């Protein structure tokens, strides 16, 4: 029997799960402020969706997907990213026939067969947003502002926003031919993957992480220098809107999105303090993706954040205080013959939204007090024969060490006064 989690996966145990809940709550609250609502999609989809939605020439599709045949011989794949599933849902349910733009966010596990390393796992988690139905550069700016606001709300202010434009299908095709002409003389120096794909999708070569490929194509022409007038205007409006909002960015000619249906704005967020794998998220426009997946020609834009990378970044923030949910009340029961009454008291406390617990292992009173301290209980309520017979409770404030008696019917208000 295999008793260890599979390579590239891990368990999130308390108290670390509190960190996850803290991040998720802040992210979701921020998304709601911008008018985005949650979508939940299946963990696996038909393989064809990702082949079309992610791209047949990408490493994700060619090397990293977890694909399997079900009992009906259908090819299914654990989702490697979230955008394709959102596009499928948009098309399948004809959501585009309603109020536009459609603004969604999602979060959950993704799966890629990759070499595990710091901040990168085979099962990893992403938060993402997608907006469909508008070409406006101001929507591009809003998406980026949302991403930046999330970072600020988490206390992550030492970040770099990298920005570029990858043009439209018209100027992209012109640039594609120029780039192929530049790459062709040095194609033998490229890695096997880049050699096989550079003619079909040369922008994938620009995105290759292998150093030999980077050296081979040095001084490559920049797509920014070959944008058409409409794309230049779109990009300038995005930049000026960010500048007006006080958001600093770095124009990055090396930042590309190599899929054919990516258009215009592309961006990434880097947090240098977490090391070589500094990118924590990114996104861009994909105006051709909905059509490529069988839907109408509807524009889209979005981004995804890596949750594991965010956690790494938060660990490096000196001011960050780990969220800790201490217990409000520990009910110390002096005699097990009062167990039934104790459960009734716990029910009263919890119904009043007071976090309460008790011992279930038969500890002595002294041991119960130590246990309450380990749980971080703010208040201990003593329940013994004297308290039950007189209709009173003894309440001990664990911070001030003061102790008082209150009538049974007043226990809720007394506890809330102490907690206030």
Does residue 251 sit in the same domain as residue 398?
no
Task: State pLDDT tens for residues 284-306.
Answer: 999 999 999 999 999 999 999 99
pLDDT (tens digit, 9 = 90+) per residue, 102-161? Answer: 999 999 999 999 888 877 899 999 999 999 999 999 999 999 999 999 999 999 999 999
Residue 11 located in a structural domain: no
Domains in the chain: how many in total?
Answer: 2
Residues 233 and 366 in one domain: no
283 φ, ψ (degrees, to nearest 5):
-175, -160
Residues 62 and 37 grouped into a single domain = yes
Q: CA distances (Å), 324 to each of 21, 202, 363, in order?
A: 11, 49, 25
Digit-coded pLDDT (tens) for 187-239:
888 898 888 878 888 888 887 878 888 888 888 999 999 999 999 999 999 99
pLDDT given for residue 320 in this prediction: 62
Q: Are residues 236 and 92 in the same domain?
A: yes
161 shares a domain with 59: yes
Residues 307 and 359 in one domain: no
Q: Per residue in 317-359, pLDDT tens? A: 766 666 666 899 999 999 999 999 999 999 999 999 999 999 9
175 within domain boundaries? no
Can you give the CATH number for the domain in which 245 is found? 3.30.930.10
Cα–Cα distance, 256 to 252 (Å, whole number):
9
397 in the same domain as 261: no
Give residue-wise pLDDT tens across range 28-61: 999 999 999 999 999 999 999 998 888 776 778 8
pLDDT of residue 130: 98
At 116 the pLDDT is 84
Indicate yes or no: pTM above 0.75: yes
User: Tokens 């716990």 map to which residue?
Assistant: 346
- Mean pLDDT, rounded, of the chain: 92
pLDDT of residue 208: 83
Are 77 and 143 in the same domain?
yes
Structural domain including 346 reads 329-419
The length of the chain in residues reads 420
Residue 263 has pLDDT above 70, yes or no: yes
Looking at the domain assignment, is residue 54 inside a domain? Answer: yes
Q: Do the beta carbons of residue 183 and residue 190 sit within 8 Å?
A: yes
Q: Which residues is 285 bridged to in the sheet? A: 263, 301
Average pLDDT (76-104) is 95
Mean pLDDT, rounded, for 246-275: 89
What is the DSSP code string of 292-303?
A: HTTS-S--EEEE
Residues 54 and 155 in one domain: yes
In a domain, 187, yes or no: no
Task: Specify whether the backbone of 305 is left (phi greater than 0), alpha (psi in -120 to 50) or beta.
Answer: beta
């Amino acid at each position: 029997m295999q008793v260890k989690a599979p390579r590239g996966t891990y368990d999130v145990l308390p108290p670390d799960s509190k960190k996850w809940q803290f991040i998720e709550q802040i992210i979701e609250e921020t998304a709601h402020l911008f008018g985005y609502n949650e979508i939940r999609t299946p963990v696996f989809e038909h393989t064809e969706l990702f082949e079309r939605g992610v791209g047949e020439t990408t490493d994700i599709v060619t090397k990293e997907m977890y694909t399997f045949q079900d009992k009906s011989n259908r090819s299914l794949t654990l989702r490697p990213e979230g955008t394709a599933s959102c596009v499928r849902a948009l098309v399948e349910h004809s959501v585009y026939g309603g109020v536009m733009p459609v603004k969604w966010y999602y979060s959950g596990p993704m799966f890629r067969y990759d070499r595990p390393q710091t901040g990168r796992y085979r099962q990893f988690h992403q938060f993402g947003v997608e907006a469909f139905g508008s070409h406006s550069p101001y929507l591009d700016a809003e998406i980026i502002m949302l991403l930046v606001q999330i970072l600020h709300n988490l206390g992550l202010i030492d970040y770099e926003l990298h920005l570029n434009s990858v043009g439209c299908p018209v100027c992209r095709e012109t640039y594609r031919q120029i780039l192929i002409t530049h790459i062709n003389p040095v194609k033998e120096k490229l890695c096997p993957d880049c050699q096989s794909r550079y003619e079909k999708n040369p922008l994938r070569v620009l995105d290759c992480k292998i150093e030999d490929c980077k050296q081979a194509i040095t001084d490559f022409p920049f797509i920014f220098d070959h944008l058409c007038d409409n794309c230049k205007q779109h990009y300038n409006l995005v930049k000026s809107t960010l500048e007006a909002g006080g958001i600093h960015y770095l124009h990055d000619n090396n930042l590309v999105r190599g899929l054919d249906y990516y258009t215009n704005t592309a961006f990434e967020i880097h947090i240098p303090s977490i090391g070589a794998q500094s990118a924590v998220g990114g996104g861009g426009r994909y105006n051709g993706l909905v059509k490529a997946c069988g839907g109408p020609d509807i524009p889209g834009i979005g981004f995804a954040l890596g949750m594991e990378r965010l956690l790494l970044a938060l660990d490096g923030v000196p001011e960050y205080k780990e969220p800790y949910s201490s217990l409000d009340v520990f009910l110390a029961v002096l005699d097990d013959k009062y167990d039934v009454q104790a459960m009734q008291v716990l029910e009263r406390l919890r119904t009043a939204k007071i976090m309460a617990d008790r011992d279930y292992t038969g500890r002595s009173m002294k041991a119960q007090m130590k246990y309450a301290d380990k749980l971080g209980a703010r208040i201990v309520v003593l329940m013994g024969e004297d308290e039950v017979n007189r209709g009173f409770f003894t309440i001990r404030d664990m911070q001030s060490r003061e102790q008082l008696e209150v009538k049974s019917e007043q226990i809720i208000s007394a506890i809330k006064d102490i907690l206030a």
